[in-house]
Structure 1
């Protein structure tokens, strides 16, 4: 990244960029705003499903744009990799409102691979805590008005 490119990127307190594009490269605050507004552009993989409540949701694995650790000034190691990919629940299109981020990743390929596990856990669930991913216990959305 050149000095001029770095000058247009928002840096967290630790001096590390905190907004990233789907390619994993830092982006300016203006580009970050455009990305946040365009969920389809950020989506790597998506699946629509019906919850037990009867409500429809879209499970998206996507670029989240902002790395919460860098933004908060967390200590950053030499091999820092931003956790800007995640699997999240959204309302169906055209609304596409974020309901809950289930898990974050520092590797888009891992995020896509884990999408299948997230779908299984949201649809089927399990009563065996040892088999549940860490985010499963945090899954709390049960649909509008409940």
Structure 2
């Protein structure tokens, strides 16, 4: 991969930028790669939470950098706002490995406002979007030392 390739804004099949910074503006692939290096740098808000299963997780509301819609061949309406912020479960530091993205948002302020609601949904083990009994059952992480 050439340096020139990393210094351009990449577009998805529908012509929408694929990578975004924390301010919601398109960034180059090089800038996106730098953002992805540090989950702390992308985190807008975080909380530690012990799941009913006993595992300790970190709930982060953060910039996701990549727009999943732009990667598809979908037609995007005028005024499109990418869902590049989200609330996700991570393993505790220092590992800080992504477990699952739970919610995505099109606005960073909305993401921060919804962080507390997402915590409540995780704590009681519900996901109103699909009425599953618990997100914890779908985690790929089995906890420390396992």
Coarse TM-score class (shorter-chain normalised): 0.7 to 0.9
Q: 1:93 to 1:75 in 2, by over 3 A?
A: same
Aligned to 2:17: 17
Matches within 5 A, 1:103-122: 103-122=103-122
The question of 1:141 aligning with 2:136 is answered no
Q: Determine if contact 1:12/1:72 at 8 Å carries over to the other structure.
A: yes
- Aligned-pair CA distance for 1:73: 2.6
- Aligned-pair CA distance for 1:125: 3.2
Q: 1:91 to 1:49 in 2, by over 3 A?
A: same
Runs of 5+ unmatched residues, structure 1? 1-6, 127-131
Q: State the distance in 1 between where 2:115 and 2:131 align.
A: 13
Runs of 5+ unmatched residues, structure 2? 1-6
Aligned to 2:67: 67
Question: By percentage of residues, which structure has more helix?
Answer: 1
What is the RMSD of the two structures over their aligned residues, measured on CA atoms? 1.9
Q: State the distance in 1 between where 2:129 and 2:60 align.
A: 18
Q: State the distance in 2 between where 1:36 and 1:142 align.
A: 21
Question: CA offsets per residue over residues 28-81 of structure 1, 9 Å max, x none?
Answer: 111111111110111000000111111110000000000000121321111100
SS of 2:70's equivalent? helix
- Aligned-pair CA distance for 1:101: 0.3
Question: CA offsets per residue over residues 66-116 of structure 1, 9 Å max, x none?
Answer: 000012132111110000000000001111100000011101111111111
Q: 1:122 to 1:136 in 2, by over 3 A?
A: farther
Segments of 4+ in structure 1 off by > 4 A? none
- Aligned-pair CA distance for 1:17: 0.4
Taking structure 2 as the reference length, the TM-score comes to 0.85
Aligned to 1:54: 54
